[in-house]
Structure 1
């Protein structure tokens, strides 16, 4: 055996026992005639001790021993004279009698410790070394525990775990597909699935009743902190259910995960219409850990000669409680922050509610104290508060104020990562108008059912039709989303017509699904959780990258294996993709 115990296992009650450990050298310290080596594996660290009585063979090996060498050490457990209460094994050490170097190591490009000196790029290049660090490894252990808990809950609820194909058909709706050329079918391509959507609906037609899969999905999108080209979904579908059944079942899953993995009890899952979320929070994924709701004050501020407000479609803002003492420097920082291209505001107007009952604003030239008092009343502000106001096109400004609200939440410490506030956002628009293509697109996907009470609007005013769709949002992060599906062939055909599909296009792309509906499709609905996002939420991370063993960087590259890469001309020829690169 390479080891009898792990490096995190031995305690004072093991004193006097012989043991063999194996692992990586964390550090080596030479103190007089004694040499101390911290030996590390995934379970912890144990101190090894070598004294002047060590054999010449061991002494020679010790001289060459460096960080990250893989070694095997045998000896006797004894009590430490200088205990380390910061680690579980800190009361014992190993008096080493035998030492074997299993594998030497080059000097690592960064220190493999909890607080590393390696930047993101170098740690991504040597990801296998980064994974040795406790914080990164613990994220992957957490991911494993959560996967086990998810399967346990869904299996107990009689869901059937079913794999669906990875090589599927490309469709133009949604994000860009990753495509795979077919050697055996020249000129034709598979697509990697953005979601198993149509397959899980077909499983409902097949009578599977309750399906789930923890599945890889792929989208050729621009990347950000919570997005990777390949990601993992907890994909689920149920038959003979309505929206309330789905929400109840997956509230149960969410509560179960928080209780069993984080030992946190989650009680309420309020429901908020999409329109309310946008008006009050400027976002369809509102962070409800703090108030600071958006107020529309257009009617209060217009007609006073301030052209910026008078010409704006929308004037609104937020009230930051207790922030009237913000300095000019802080206000200038906020002004510059909202002017960034990512936010898009042209400026920021403020009003301070002073302790003496007066008001100080950046637009005193246009508004009297009585005018500003009306603003304050519209916001429900009090002495010591600060109003922050933006103006412009309504949709743009709601987005901008929503981002400003989150930024103020960060600056004021209101977004506690140990507080969890879930909610369901419901009643999304079914369709959204795209100016470039001059047609409607499905806000979720073409198989989402309209709200039954809005069906009569499909032909007369489709933009007002609400979807039977729902998103689970926790702390301002969209964790999951789904919908009640269309299971009626006639209604599905009407949807394809609204989305601009010709009969031929609908048949070519989704004919198999429409055909399946002819053979008795049950009412069904589903949801998909972003597994990477859920793990990052539990881990208290802002990025999903460190919840994935081998992630891509912001350019979609795996810098460790240097992918994507070119392929040989012979491979291109086999795939009928050979390009003529000869100069003309």
Structure 2
């Protein structure tokens, strides 16, 4: 056998035991009369020892010739370590080696395989298989596996069954672009990779499988960010004979269970706020509620003086920064420069210092008196010692800008604590969003989302006012899950397609299979999908998902390790009946 124990298993209780270890050489230390070799595997590090008194000369020489990352097998006796290392679990013992086998040699790696490596991100992505040997990445993947197992355990105990759905499906308009796959046997026709298993899980409900889940790969050909990948993993779920409250209760339970089992944290409060309330209080639909700084709308108390910047604005809105009155003018100027950056787009910022003695000092003192500024403090819930930051302009843009400032300030002030968790539900989203460029409405979630009861008729008169029977689960300022109660009858679905701009012929061509299924006794149903990559990263105390994925893509959607995407052979193109001008 290659090993009797892992490199992290041996303790003082194993002293005088003959063992066999296998792993990678972490480092060697040669003192002339003695050589120490640290050998590493997934489970830990054990020190091997070779010395002139107890080790044959040829074996000692063999140890001296070991290089970093050589794969070796060592057989020997566990002995007490003279100079103990309290930083590792195996630090009280070492193995006096009697046999050493080099299983494979290694080139010198391009970066150090240590927790604090000297390799940059691009280099580590290129040699990802080496990066996986480092504890931070390895531990992230072990952590991800644990989360996945606990998800399966919880859902199985709740009566859900896991069903696999197809990866080669029909291209449908779900919001993002599809990745398409040409069919060799059907000339000129294409499959698409699923953006989600949405229609299939609805068909499973029609089929009577009333509690479904799947941990599934999904694909979207869209612009990337740190928390997005072209392929990602969802915890996809659907239930039949349920209303919104049933789904919220089940998945509050899942979230509570994961926080308890994975993090040892008890969470019992899941506040619920409407989409409109979230936008008004926080400026976005996935607010971080671990800290305050809620928006205070100031139109009524700021648009009565001769300050035209505010008078001409749709919205004047501010936040109170705790302890911010102590900021210097230079620090405030840096904040103003920050909001003026192109990424934020504000034209400027008005500020008010709420001094400890009850006085106010603002950048607009010549327009507003103490009573005015006291009213601003009241609306933003500012206290003595706080700083009020005020932005103005178009409603949507200004809320977005102030939301970005709120998050930036919270980051700088250490208010976004990675081991503090604050979930909430955002409900009552608009059913439709207006595309300002085309003037057409599109589904805010997807075309199968049901309107709130009693609001279907509003589609003909005021489509923008219709609320969706939809909900998002937000954790620490990140949407970790989203879903809705679905439309389950053909007539309502036809009305929805009409308002999304589909002709009856287009709707039948795209979704005829689903409409037909609804004629055979479709039950009321709804569901939710969690982003597993994002959920795992947040539970792991991070917000970027890349280090929790074994083989991620970079910001350009490329796998630099295997060099994909890449051109394919001309013969393959001809078999697929594709004609492309391929440059040599």
Common fold: TM-score over 0.5: yes
CA–CA separation in structure 1 for the residues paired with 2:192 and 2:224: 19
Partner of residue 383, structure 1: 384
Task: Give the CA deviation at 1:415.
Answer: 0.9
Partner of residue 507, structure 1: 508
CA–CA separation in structure 1 for the residues paired with 2:509 and 2:341: 44
Partner of residue 22, structure 1: 22
Answering whether residue 2 of structure 2 is matched by residue 2 of structure 1, we say: yes
| 3-state SS, counterpart of residue 396 of structure 1 | helix
Q: Identify if the C-alpha distance between structure 1 residues 345 and 582 changes in structure 2 by more than 3 Å, giving closer, same or farther.
A: closer
Partner of residue 558, structure 1: 559
Partner of residue 358, structure 2: 357
Which digits, 9 at most, give the CA deviation of each residue in 1:91-125, with x for residues without a partner? 10011111111111111111111111111100100
Answering whether residue 157 of structure 2 is matched by residue 156 of structure 1, we say: yes
Answering whether residue 475 of structure 2 is matched by residue 474 of structure 1, we say: yes
How do 1:92-491 residues align onto structure 2 when only pairs under 5 Å count?
A: 92-491=93-492
Which digits, 9 at most, give the CA deviation of each residue in 1:10-45, with x for residues without a partner? 000111111111101111112241111111000000
How do 1:37-76 residues align onto structure 2 when only pairs under 5 Å count?
A: 37-53=37-53, 54-76=55-77
Contact 2:20 2:75 in 1 (8 A): yes
Task: Give the CA deviation at 1:580.
Answer: 5.1
Task: Give the CA deviation at 1:343.
Answer: 1.3
Partner of residue 34, structure 1: 34
Which digits, 9 at most, give the CA deviation of each residue in 1:418-465, with x for residues without a partner? 111011110000001112232110000000000003223121111100
CA–CA separation in structure 2 for the residues paired with 1:153 and 1:377: 46
Contact 2:169 2:194 in 1 (8 A): yes
| 3-state SS, counterpart of residue 454 of structure 1 | coil
Partner of residue 531, structure 1: 532
More moved, 326-335 vs 246-255? 326-335
CA–CA separation in structure 1 for the residues paired with 2:362 and 2:267: 42
| 3-state SS, counterpart of residue 351 of structure 1 | strand
Q: Identify if the C-alpha distance between structure 1 residues 363 and 127 changes in structure 2 by more than 3 Å, giving closer, same or farther.
A: same
Task: Give the CA deviation at 1:579.
Answer: 2.6
TM-score (norm 2): 0.98
Q: Identify if the C-alpha distance between structure 1 residues 94 and 220 changes in structure 2 by more than 3 Å, giving closer, same or farther.
A: same
Task: Give the CA deviation at 1:82.
Answer: 1.1
Which digits, 9 at most, give the CA deviation of each residue in 1:407-426, with x for residues without a partner? 11111111111111011110
Q: Identify if the C-alpha distance between structure 1 residues 575 and 310 changes in structure 2 by more than 3 Å, giving closer, same or farther.
A: same
| 3-state SS, counterpart of residue 520 of structure 2 | coil
Which digits, 9 at most, give the CA deviation of each residue in 1:516-555, with x for residues without a partner? 0001100000000000011001111120001100000000
Which digits, 9 at most, give the CA deviation of each residue in 1:42-78, with x for residues without a partner? 0000111111132232123223211111111111101
Contact 2:534 2:543 in 1 (8 A): no
More moved, 326-335 vs 101-110? 326-335
CA–CA separation in structure 1 for the residues paired with 2:94 and 2:255: 43
Partner of residue 12, structure 1: 12
Contact 2:168 2:193 in 1 (8 A): yes
Answering whether residue 572 of structure 2 is matched by residue 574 of structure 1, we say: no
Contact 2:431 2:468 in 1 (8 A): yes
Stretches of structure 1 lacking an aligned partner (at least 5 in a row): none
Stretches of structure 2 lacking an aligned partner (at least 5 in a row): none
| 3-state SS, counterpart of residue 454 of structure 2 | helix
CA–CA separation in structure 2 for the residues paired with 1:380 and 1:424: 24
CA–CA separation in structure 2 for the residues paired with 1:390 and 1:396: 10
| 3-state SS, counterpart of residue 312 of structure 1 | coil
CA–CA separation in structure 1 for the residues paired with 2:471 and 2:380: 30
CA–CA separation in structure 2 for the residues paired with 1:153 and 1:490: 36
Task: Give the CA deviation at 1:320.
Answer: 0.6
More moved, 532-541 vs 27-36? 27-36
CA–CA separation in structure 2 for the residues paired with 1:371 and 1:236: 52
CA–CA separation in structure 2 for the residues paired with 1:437 and 1:574: 39
CA–CA separation in structure 2 for the residues paired with 1:455 and 1:364: 51
CA–CA separation in structure 2 for the residues paired with 1:94 and 1:110: 28
TM-score (norm 1): 0.98
| 3-state SS, counterpart of residue 429 of structure 1 | coil
| 3-state SS, counterpart of residue 504 of structure 1 | helix
Which digits, 9 at most, give the CA deviation of each residue in 1:240-286, with x for residues without a partner? 11111111111111111112222221111111111111100111001
CA–CA separation in structure 1 for the residues paired with 2:417 and 2:235: 26
Partner of residue 545, structure 1: 546
CA–CA separation in structure 1 for the residues paired with 2:583 and 2:22: 57
| RMSD (Å), alpha carbons | 1.3
| 3-state SS, counterpart of residue 529 of structure 2 | strand
Task: Give the CA deviation at 1:578.
Answer: 2.0
CA–CA separation in structure 1 for the residues paired with 2:242 and 2:373: 52
Task: Give the CA deviation at 1:329.
Answer: 2.2
CA–CA separation in structure 1 for the residues paired with 2:371 and 2:583: 77
CA–CA separation in structure 2 for the residues paired with 1:581 and 1:66: 44
CA–CA separation in structure 1 for the residues paired with 2:514 and 2:466: 24
More moved, 144-153 vs 30-39? 30-39
CA–CA separation in structure 2 for the residues paired with 1:305 and 1:81: 81
More moved, 375-384 vs 406-415? 375-384
User: How many positions carry a matched residue from both structures?
Assistant: 583
Task: Give the CA deviation at 1:581.
Answer: 6.5
